[in-house]
Amino acid sequence: MHLHFERNLNAKCDCSILSLTWMGKVPDELPEDEGWKLSRTNYYQEGWLAAGNVRGIVGVTFTTSHWRKNSEFPLRTNYNLRGHRSEIILVKWNEPYQKLASCDSSGIIFVWIKYDGRWSIELINDRNTPVTHFSWSHDGRMALICYQDGFVLVGSVAGQRYWSSMLSLESTITCGLWTPDDQQVYFGTTSGRLIVMDVHGAMVSQIQLCQDFGPIVSMAWSCEKFKMEENESDTTSPYHNRGFVLAVCFKNGNILLMKSFDDVSPIQLQTGLLGVCIEWSNSRQLLAVAGTKASTVPSDSQTNVLQFYSDNGVLIHSTAIPYRQSNVTALTWGHNDKRLFIATGCQMHIAWVSTRIASLQMLSGLKTHMQLKSESQVPALPLPPRIRVFLSNLFAQTIRVSECYLPEINQMRQFVSRPPSKNFRLYCTMIRHDEDTNLTAGTCYTLYLEFLGGLVPLLKGKRTSKIKPEFVIFDPQVEETELLDVTKLRLNDVSPNGRLTSDSSDSDMDDGCASPRVQMRQRRCRRAHEKRDLVEIDDLTYVDILPEYARLVQVTSNIWGTKFKVHGLAKSLPENLGHITYKTSLLHLQPRQMTLVMTELGDDVVLGPDPNFNPHLFSEDEDEAASEVDQRSLPLTDLALPIAPMTPRPAGESRRLQQQSSRSSRPSTKATENSASLQRAPSSLPPLCGGEPQTPKHTVAPREDLPSEPSTSMRVKSSIKVASQLDEAKEQSRTKRREKQACSHKQAVSSLCKEEEAAAAAAVAAGAVTAPGRGPTVVNPSTYSILLDPMVRSCSVGYLDLVDLTLNSHGPLGDPADAPPKRLVLVHKKEQPKPKLSNCGKSKSFDSSEIFPSAERKKQARGNANMTFQKSQVTRKPVQKKEVEQTENKDLKAEDHVFVNQNDGLASSATEHNNHTSRLPHSSPASPALGKKKRNQSPLRSFALDCRRHLLNSPLLSRRVWKNRNTNESSDDEVACPNEEVINGRNFRDLETFQKAQLRQKLRKGKNDPPSVPAAARHREFVMHNKAPMWNENSQVYQLDFGGRVTQESAKNFQIEFRGKQVMQFGRIDGNAYTLDFQYPFSALQAFAVALANVTQRLK
Amino acid sequence: MSHSEPIEKNCVGPDAEYVKLISSDQKEFLVKRTHAETYSKTIKQILSGPTNCSEGETNQIEFSQISSKVLEIICNYIEYKAQCEIIMEKGEEIPEFDIPLEEATDVMMAASFLQC
């Protein structure tokens, strides 16, 4: 036979692995009635390796024996299962039932089951007595549990107890197992006795094995772990105990091979090893034995040896395990005997095993392979392509969680500054270290990737200001030139500390990290630079090995901790990485609302300084204004300053040209011309922008540059007008009409603003700043004002909010000198104007009016959109898509009546949503991030709600408004987004313009050859919002589904949505530990920055 | 590999016990024909080809691309593998086959060609 160890530096955990178990991966689809019918060879190519460690975490990690990366990965390749509160002594798959049992040292047994992509605890068994062993029967139907006190129990896989017995022995049962036919159970004791009982619990025999061998440590039958073939289940088949060999392993390293319990002449193997782990291969020919060579000379390094015995006791192969710093702790076969997983403390070794003699090609290939540092060197070798392929195949990793999951040590920076490739999600844990900073003030946070039950440090952040919640994130990668020294961290120094004591795992994890760290820290300080040994990166896994001398990213904040900017400090990063804005919340009664603007990081990202980005400049005032008057006046000043100086067109000429050309390419010029200049304004928006439906208030307020004053006042006026109109006209029909008027009026105003804004945007060359969603959004405030007069003021509050957001988003981007950064700013969720203290009640109700079960809203919006589209015979793709949902939507509409007046408020967001979803290819974050079920939160709210219901309660009204908006959108699309099938929100003055637009659109569609996207779209930003939690009436809490990843309630928990999909979630799992999961468009840096910004207490 | 006379005789003719492998630098290696054929598909194909091994002719294969050092390793490997068969039958531990590092890539290419 032949065996070699895979070079897999990443296969390690951050603490000792105490148990391993492997099973083949079944397809994700549900089995048919009979279960999975899988061919063994194929089935065992991929599998799941479960590892239980001293921190009480069970890692379930995907493994594959495919040579190449062409294999498909499951969507999630690693699970760190939390739940145990002490070290896990045993993990055992139940392959027939696809369950996992894990036992911890306190005696708690969990049976995990995978459902809907997540592992959850199905059964808990706790007898308050430590468990010594656990074993599934070979058919998977029964479980045998041995307790330290001599109690043994046989139960069903479903948790039912069949029998139990208290064996009064002078010794302890150390292991128990089923005979191959599942008719008997054997127990081994510390006194070297073998106890045999039958399947019903009757004692069969007790045999004293060689007395001088000492305690029995483990036993194993040379049969397959599970009977996977049905026809072999009866006892007459080869599964009868005959032919199988029982290996009984003693503490002194001797192994007895017995044909049955009463075998009078067992074969005795003297392995010469201590701490032996054994397991038979599935083919029952090979007994893998791993242990530490017993040596008389005490030395700090042991020799770990792996041996293989045949079932007649012949040593077939023996090899040293290339790791000396820790004893062998666990071992398991996998991949149908092609792989052997061995854990030595934290380190995992994977042996490729072949029962045949290796070919010369393999041997020489391996020799060459060992000389290469990485796979990237292979192409440079003067070899024929076929051999190169062969050689690079040797680099294949069995634990290959995915191409992009685990970073190479020399690619850390790249790894953290790029979003994971599409659809792959990184599952991370963030831990706060308070106590460890002995040198500098400031709390440290470390972001770890979850892997193999452990945590791989990715990034380290430190709070830099005592006053403001500001952070710096350090560069995780040490430059080669800076590597001066080698510090080898011995992981086994650490692991004892990593053991759990009594309380929860994460804090302990922290403690575990802490003590070695302090020393390390000091040492490191002296040495200034720490080298990570590229070959033996033991230290990768430990907390503070992350360097702290190069800053990568800075998170700056305003004094209130409500606004943050993520500032790239390294050359490899753009200066503006994004910003975060929190809505202030009165007394934190409402769930947090945050808006993220994230720069997309890709290989083509625009690097270098961004003169317009000032990480320390925050528009602080918006929310502060105490009086409403102030609120109104503030935006103006705020706005005027930055934007006013920019003159409308000239700078944006090129963009304009583009647009013009694209527009002229359409046969529909007529329509364009006809439509009022107001309508054209939108069309001047850059194509890509597709629209950033910012929140209603946002969108409008900030952009008014030149005539900012007039327009604002106009707007305010108009909204007031609308309000008064509505107030006086309570009849529904009239209201409807007015509303419509109001809308168009609004649109006029807004489009005015838009024009300017577009110009400004162009001038900044930021490209794509649009306001397609704007028309509708503008309406929003007005509807509010309709409801309650004072609402006008809250609108202005909203504006203030907006200002800040837009300023932020403009500032960083808008550098004309920069390459043509295409900016895509998309907003999903409308921002809700913050309630002021003075009109708290009202604003609350106001809020609640906006907040609407998002699903419903979405659907309503879609339904509306559909209606409109159908009417106008728009048959573009997005619409078609929606039509699928349409019927459903219509049904749902019935509910609208109930919430009529909310609809108005909702409309804007709904249409926004619409925009987004329809604008598929270009990031439209369809965030249904709307407060769900917030309405009924307080009596106050519901009261306000009722009021409004009475005020405006025609479903028609709302629908009308929507229609208006939707039509606008669709026409806008045609005007502004030549390059994709997208429907944007845009304002139309009246039906006529709309119809014309529709006509144009149809014509254009005929052309069906959209101009291509400008190639220079390099700098994109995405605007995202957090998902509003659902209010659970029963438990009186806000709820979000974190997929089992979050275990503690916290106001800091959040989820971010992008294009209607949750792309990031953050939640507390312990006092100082949080999970942070993210995927595209977040890079690890950005996600970490957002999390850092989120963990601090804010003042407002 | 032994180069003694009696073996030399044995690589003549279709039923010869040995086969002669000649390296690019004209060094000759004799291996048992059965072993060579069993453990290298390429050699087997060459030997079973129509042109070779006619009566009175020496069974020899010239490898113009394989140096004597590499060819020696290959011959050793063929013998090693034959030994392993015996060892495995006995159920004993199989020794490692060592390849000098400097020859590894060349051996790999030659082994790939010879399919051994």
Q: Which of A328-337, A564-573, A894-903, B52-61 has the lowest mean pLDDT?
A: A894-903
Q: Do B108 and A316 touch (CB under 8 A)?
A: no
Kindly tell me if the per-residue pLDDT of A463 is higher than 70. yes
Using a CB-CB cut-off of 8 Å, the residues of chain B touching A371 are 101, 104
Q: List A135's β-bridge partners, or say none.
A: A144
Q: How would residue A410 be classed by pLDDT, with cut points 50, 70 and 90?
A: confident
At A1031 the pLDDT is 87
Which residue's structure tokens are 């599964």? A239
Residue in A with minimal Cα distance to B112:
A361
Q: Do B105 and A364 touch (CB under 8 A)?
A: yes
At A157 the pLDDT is 93
**pTM here?**
0.64
In B11-70, the residues whose Cβ lies within 8 Å of chain A are: none
At A278 the pLDDT is 94
Rounded average pLDDT over A47-72: 85
Of the candidates A1027, A1024, A846, the one whose C-alpha atom is nearest the C-alpha of residue A928 is A1027
Q: How would residue A482 be classed by pLDDT, with cut points 50, 70 and 90?
A: very low
Rounded average pLDDT over A579-590: 76
Cβ pair A782, A718 in contact under 8 A: yes
At A424 the pLDDT is 84
Q: Which of A98-102, A149-153, A282-286, A942-946 has the lowest mean pLDDT?
A: A942-946
Determine whether A641 is exposed, middle or buried from the number of CB atoms within 10 Å of its CB (0-12, 13-18, 19+).
exposed
Query: Among B112, B114, B115, which would you mutate to test the A interface (most chain A Cβ atoms within 10 Å of its Cβ)?
Result: B112
Number of inter-chain CB pairs under 8 A, A vs B = 69
Q: Which of A312, A361, A381 sits opposite B111 (nearest CB)?
A: A361
At B103 the pLDDT is 87
At A1088 the pLDDT is 93
Highest averaged pLDDT of the listed ranges A69-83, A260-274, A644-658: A260-274
Residues of A with CB under 8 A from a CB of B: 1, 310, 312, 314-318, 357-361, 363-365, 367-368, 371, 381, 383-384, 386-387, 390-391
At A623 the pLDDT is 43
Kindly tell me if the per-residue pLDDT of A363 is higher than 60. yes
Rounded average pLDDT over A485-491: 35
Q: Do B99 and A367 touch (CB under 8 A)?
A: yes
Q: How would residue A634 be classed by pLDDT, with cut points 50, 70 and 90?
A: very low
At A267 the pLDDT is 92
Q: Do A318 and B97 touch (CB under 8 A)?
A: no
Cβ pair A872, A998 in contact under 8 A: yes
Residue in A with minimal Cα distance to B82:
A357
Kindly tell me if the per-residue pLDDT of A217 is higher than 80. yes
At A258 the pLDDT is 92
Residue range A519-541, pLDDT digits in tens: 444 344 333 333 333 333 333 33
Q: How far is B55 from chain A (nearest CA, A)?
A: 32
Query: Among B38, B85, B108, which would you mutate to test the A interface (most chain A Cβ atoms within 10 Å of its Cβ)?
Result: B108
Q: Do B104 and A367 touch (CB under 8 A)?
A: yes
Kindly tell me if the per-residue pLDDT of A890 is higher than 60. no
Q: Which of A310, A312, A387 sits opposite B108 (nearest CB)?
A: A387
Which residue's structure tokens are 């030997």? B47
Q: Do B93 and A317 touch (CB under 8 A)?
A: yes
Kindly tell me if the per-residue pLDDT of A458 is higher than 50. yes
Using a CB-CB cut-off of 8 Å, the residues of chain A touching B94 are 1, 316-317, 357
Kindly tell me if the per-residue pLDDT of A782 is higher than 50. no
Which residue would you say has higher pLDDT here, A992 or A423? A423
Kindly tell me if the per-residue pLDDT of A121 is higher than 90. yes
Cβ pair A1095, A470 in contact under 8 A: no
Q: Which of A33-47, A931-945, B34-48, B88-102 has the lowest mean pLDDT?
A: A931-945
CA dihedral A949, A955, A957, A960 (to 10 degrees): 150
At A41 the pLDDT is 67
Rounded average pLDDT over A113-131: 91
Q: List A509's β-bridge partners, or say none.
A: none
At A381 the pLDDT is 84
- Cα A735 to Cα A483, A643, A788, A867, A900, distances in angstroms: 73, 37, 15, 21, 13
Kindly tell me if the per-residue pLDDT of A128 is higher than 60. yes
Kindly tell me if the per-residue pLDDT of A433 is higher than 50. yes
Q: Which of B84, B88, B99 sits opposite A364 (nearest CB)?
A: B99
Rounded average pLDDT over A265-272: 90
Q: How far is A376 from chain B (nearest CA, A)?
A: 17
Residue range A1029-1055, pLDDT digits in tens: 888 888 888 888 888 888 888 888 889
Q: Do A387 and B109 touch (CB under 8 A)?
A: yes
Structure tokens given for A326: 């820790």
C-alpha to C-alpha distance for A986 and A973, rounded to whole angstroms: 8
Residue in B with minimal Cα distance to A318:
B93
At B33 the pLDDT is 86
At A374 the pLDDT is 78
Secondary structure (DSSP) of A483-497: ---B-PPPHHHHHHH
Residue in B with minimal Cα distance to A355:
B88
Rounded average pLDDT over A242-256: 90
Which residue would you say has higher pLDDT here, A224 or A1018? A224
Rounded average pLDDT over A73-101: 91
At A689 the pLDDT is 37
Please give the distance of CA A12 from its chain centroid, rounded to a whole number.
22
Which residue would you say has higher pLDDT here, A745 or A1071? A1071
Q: How far is A272 from chain B (nearest CA, A)?
A: 16
Cβ neighbours of residue A23 under 8 Å, at least 6 residues apart? A47, A48, A50, A93, A95, A98
Q: How would residue A187 be classed by pLDDT, with cut points 50, 70 and 90?
A: very high
Using a CB-CB cut-off of 8 Å, the residues of chain B touching A310 are 91
Q: How far is A286 from chain B (nearest CA, A)?
A: 12
Kindly tell me if the per-residue pLDDT of A282 is higher than 80. yes
Kindly tell me if the per-residue pLDDT of A951 is higher than 80. no
Which residue would you say has higher pLDDT here, A571 or A165? A165
Rounded average pLDDT over A368-392: 85
Kindly tell me if the per-residue pLDDT of A119 is higher than 70. yes
C-alpha to C-alpha distance for A413 and A569, rounded to whole angstroms: 13
Crossing angle for the helix pair A505-527 and A491-498, nearest 10 degrees? 150
Q: How far is A68 from chain B (nearest CA, A)?
A: 19
Mean of all residue pLDDT scores within chain A: 66
CA-based radius of gyration for chain A: 33
Residue in B with minimal Cα distance to A370:
B101
Which residue's structure tokens are 């540059």? A705
Of the candidates A467, A482, A465, A449, the one whose C-alpha atom is nearest the C-alpha of residue A550 is A482
Of the candidates B79, B74, B83, the one whose C-alpha atom is nearest the C-alpha of residue B114 is B74
Residue in B with minimal Cα distance to A4:
B96
Q: Which amino acid is at A462?
A: K
Q: How far is A205 from chain B (nearest CA, A)?
A: 34
At B50 the pLDDT is 66
Kindly tell me if the per-residue pLDDT of A789 is higher than 60. no
Give the pLDDT means over successive 10-residue stretches in chain B (116 positions): 53 78 90 88 82 63 90 92 86 83 89 88
Query: Among A364, A369, A381, A386, which would you mutate to test the B interface (most chain B Cβ atoms within 10 Å of its Cβ)?
Result: A364
Q: How would residue A257 be classed by pLDDT, with cut points 50, 70 and 90?
A: very high
Q: Do A314 and B81 touch (CB under 8 A)?
A: no
Q: How far is B102 from chain A (nearest CA, A)?
A: 9
Q: Which of A310, A318, A359 sits opposite B111 (nearest CB)?
A: A359
